[in-house]
Amino acid sequence: ANGVDTAELKPEEEWTTAEDSLSLGNSKALNGLFNGVHQNMFRLIKKCTVAKDALEILKTTQEGTAKVKMSRLQIL
């Protein structure tokens, strides 16, 4: 979009203050997730580079997919 190739990463030296701040937040969130889960869960998320992706994997693992949730509710 806007003529910018998003497939190639921008060198860290060229990051804006906002991009630097977002990167720091992502790193802190990933660190918290990595250190806050059991070793078995860590194995599922250890290759994630974006905290949101790791969180989605953990949510799906713990809560199940939408189909699983619906079937559990129907049992009740």
What secondary structure, in 3-state letters, does 18-63 show? HHHHHHHHHHHHHHHHHHHCCHHHHHHHCCCCCHHHHHHHHHHHHH
Cβ atoms of 5 and 13 within 8 Å: the answer is no
Q: What is the pLDDT of residue 1?
A: 45
Q: What is the pLDDT of residue 7?
A: 66
Average pLDDT over residues 24-49: 96
Give the confidence band of 43 by pLDDT, cuts at 50, 70, 90: very high
